[in-house]
Each structure stands twice: as C-alpha cells, then as structure tokens.
C-alpha cells in the first residue's frame, strides 16, 4: 500500500529543503489534503505545492507539528530495514566516542529518527517514544533495537508530558527482560546508582557528562554549592576534585537519598552536605545566613518549556542566577546551565549578565559548553541545540 501524499501550501517547503524535518499544520494545503482523513502516525509522502517530491514521513493531524519528514530518498520507505540502518548509523558514532556502553544512543531528529530517544546503560536500553508516528511502529523499533544491540532488557519510559501533545498516554513499561530497579554506571571514574525505571527522564542526564569533566580544568575550591543536584553527578565530581564541603540542594528527598548513597559508594560521604528544599528558597536562606562558596553550580530543569513561557522563564533564570551570584566568593566559579531550547545561547548569556549587574558583580565568560556528542546537533534544526552551560568567573573587583 502506497503512503498517503500530502501537499504543502505555496512556498512552505523552504525549511524542509534547508534540512529541517518538521511540518506545521498551517503549512499543509488542507483543501488538497484534508487532515481529517488521516490517522495519527500514518505514513505519508510529502509533496510541495507544485507536487515536487520532498520525502517520506508520518503525520498526526491533531498535533501542531503535524508531520515529520524521516527519509529524503524515494526508495527509502518507513520500513524495519530503515530503522535498523538508522540505529546502526547511530551506534557507529557512539562506539567511536565511548569506550563503555553508557550514553544516549538515539537522539531523535539528529539521528534521523524523530520522536525516538534511546539511552543505553550497558545491556539495558531506556526508550522514550514521543510522537504518534513512532508509536505506530513501536514493535518494529523494538525489534530493530533487539536485532542491532541484543540487549538484556528494554524499558519504555513513555511517561513524559510531551506525549499528551500527540494524543498518547503516559506510562512506564518493561518491553524486554526483567530489569532491576537500579543499576550502577561509571562516569569519569565515579560510580553512580541510577534508576532507569523510576528516575527523572530516562534515569540519568548523559547530556552534561562532558561539561562535568570540564570542572577539573578550572578547579572548584574548598566550598561548592550544587543546586538542582538530582543524584549528585556535579556534587561528587566537585568532591572528587578536592572540595572539602559540597552543599547539595534538591527538592526531592529520594534524589538526595541517592546522592548520599552515591557519595558513600565513592568514599566521599564526609564531603557532601545534602539540603532539601525549593532552590529559590534555599538560596535565599543561605544568603541570609551569610554563606559563601568558591564554586556555585546551577543546573535547573527547563524553565521555558513552551514559547509562551519565555517571559516568566527568563525571569526565573535571572532570579536563580542572581541568588547564586550573591553566594559566590570574589574570584569564584559560576557554572550555570539552561536546557530550554526556546532560550538560545545569546539570550541565556544576556540573562546571566543581567543577573550579575543586579547583584553588583562583574563576570568573565571562560567557556560555553553544550550537550555531549552523543546528543549531536542537527545544523538545520536549532531545537536540537538545547543545552547551554556557561563557565564564568566572578571578578574579585567590581
């Protein structure tokens, strides 16, 4: 059965020709292609207004991002053979980059599989499907992952809120094997217990791994503050680098319990001071107590999840960074991150600078980090370049 063709409106193919793969509902010629006749996840052929063939993809008539282009080759239909080839291509990159199998294996659009995220924890795969098109071929994708990687277990972490935008339910499932609730991974010589079944996202934040290694270059001093710590990846790295006291802040009691367990696992318990509470409230309390730190690390969740959140989210980033700077010793290191793809690098840098001026501090930008190469950036899709991590020095004079 041939895929259903959809026609774009006049001149709406420009972004696709430049390399992007998203098609919005207002870019489709709905007179020529009535969307109500299409099923969520259905395979399609994408044509320009003049019927120029553009690619194979899938559609969801109920979503703002109405279609996604997957293949630009007329012969390359959305079949199990394509999934296998894309997975093999993604694996080849990661095997060049990493000695051990702990990384993001599939990063959606950047790996030619929009709507699919796969994190690899040794012989366990944590899979997240975020679109109706990928959900429709879920069985084929899982079979392809089994064929290429031969995992012992596969966990489906389909509990992300973005699935609701595609009309999909949210749940966690075990698709293969009998995985334990926790496992231990190694990052830069430190051992961390993570929970692929119940932890945040898919259990671990591989995207900041390269940036955490960069701490060694700058030194962290004796007193470190790690805000939004999750299970302690930044905190333990700082302690490992010589910090005598690391104050580790997170709103989640279970996350801080994991921090303590991970600290004990690495012989660093005497250097970690967990502190539960809302990040903003804890920072204000520390400021009022006169606390000061040689390094402040701010790695919050995304404050701007939708374009309409931009104003409030920008203000939240500014408040958080101002509070962090109020606690930083002159000459200290500020490591501050944003994972909001609606806030670009320049906007984030400007927001931190505004926070510095309100805190009467002057900063030097030392380095800008992004997500690691297991989260490759698609040059034509700016949304894939979501992570910005600024390494900044607070000047010892105003």
Burial of 38 (0-12, 13-18, 19+ CB in 10 A): buried
306/323 Cα distance (integer angstroms)? 24
348/321 Cα distance (integer angstroms)? 11
Per the CB < 8 A criterion, the answer to whether 335 and 297 are in contact is yes
H-assigned helices in 137-270 = 138-149, 209-218, 233-240, 253-265
Nearest to 274 by CA among 256, 287, 261, 262: 256
Q: Residue 128's Cα: distance from chain center in Å?
A: 12
Q: Residue 175's Cα: distance from chain center in Å?
A: 23
Per the CB < 8 A criterion, the answer to whether 108 and 121 are in contact is no
Chain length of the chain: 398
Determine which helix (DSSP H) or strand (DSSP E) holds 155, and give its type and residue range. strand 153-158
Per the CB < 8 A criterion, the answer to whether 125 and 145 are in contact is yes
158/179 Cα distance (integer angstroms)? 16
204/230 Cα distance (integer angstroms)? 9
Q: Helix, strand or coil for residue 115? A: coil
List active site positions: 339
Nearest to 234 by CA among 201, 270, 207: 207
Per the CB < 8 A criterion, the answer to whether 338 and 387 are in contact is yes
Nearest to 131 by CA among 196, 33, 5, 42: 42
């Amino acid at each position: 059965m041939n895929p259903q063709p959809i026609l774009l409106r006049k001149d709406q193919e420009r972004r696709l020709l430049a390399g992007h793969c998203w098609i919005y509902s207002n870019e489709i010629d709905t007179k020529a292609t009535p969307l109500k006749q299409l099923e969520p996840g259905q395979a399609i052929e994408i044509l320009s207004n003049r019927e120029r063939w553009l690619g194979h993809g899938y559609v969801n008539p109920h979503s703002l991002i109405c279609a996604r282009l997957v293949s630009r080759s007329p012969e390359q239909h959305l079949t199990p053979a394509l999934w296998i080839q894309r997975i093999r291509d993604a694996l080849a990159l990661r095997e060049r980059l990493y000695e051990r199998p702990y990384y993001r294996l599939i990063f959606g659009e950047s790996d030619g599989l929009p709507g699919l995220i796969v994190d690899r924890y040794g012989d366990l795969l944590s899979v997240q499907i975020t679109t109706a098109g990928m959900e429709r071929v879920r069985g084929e994708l899982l079979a392809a992952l089994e064929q290429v990687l031969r995992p012992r277990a596969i966990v489906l972490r389909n509990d992300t809120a973005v699935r609701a935008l595609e009309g999909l339910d949210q749940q966690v499932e075990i698709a293969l094997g009998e995985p334990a609730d926790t496992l231990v991974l190694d990052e830069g010589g430190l051992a961390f217990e993570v929970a692929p079944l119940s932890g945040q996202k898919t259990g671990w934040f591989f995207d900041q791994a390269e940036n955490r290694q960069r701490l060694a270059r700058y030194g962290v001093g004796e007193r470190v503050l790690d805000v939004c710590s999750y299970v302690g990846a930044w905190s333990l790295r700082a302690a490992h680098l010589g910090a005598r006291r690391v104050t580790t802040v997170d709103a989640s009691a279970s996350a801080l319990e994991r921090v303590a367990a991970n600290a004990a696992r690495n012989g660093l318990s005497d250097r970690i001071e967990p502190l539960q509470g809302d990040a903003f409230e804890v920072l204000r309390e520390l400021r009022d107590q006169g606390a000061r730190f040689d390094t402040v690390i701010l790695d919050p969740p995304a404050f701007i999840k939708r374009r309409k959140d931009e104003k409030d989210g920008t203000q939240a980033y500014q408040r958080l960074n101002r509070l962090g700077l109020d606690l930083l010793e002159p000459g200290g290191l500020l490591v501050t991150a944003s994972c909001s793809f609606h806030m670009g690098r320049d906007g984030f840098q400007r927001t931190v600078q505004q926070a510095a001026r309100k805190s009467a501090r002057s900063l030097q930008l030392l380095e800008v980090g992004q997500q690691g190469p297991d989260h490759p950036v698609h040059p034509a899709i700016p949304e894939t370049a979501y992570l910005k991590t600024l390494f900044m020095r607070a000047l010892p004079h105003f």
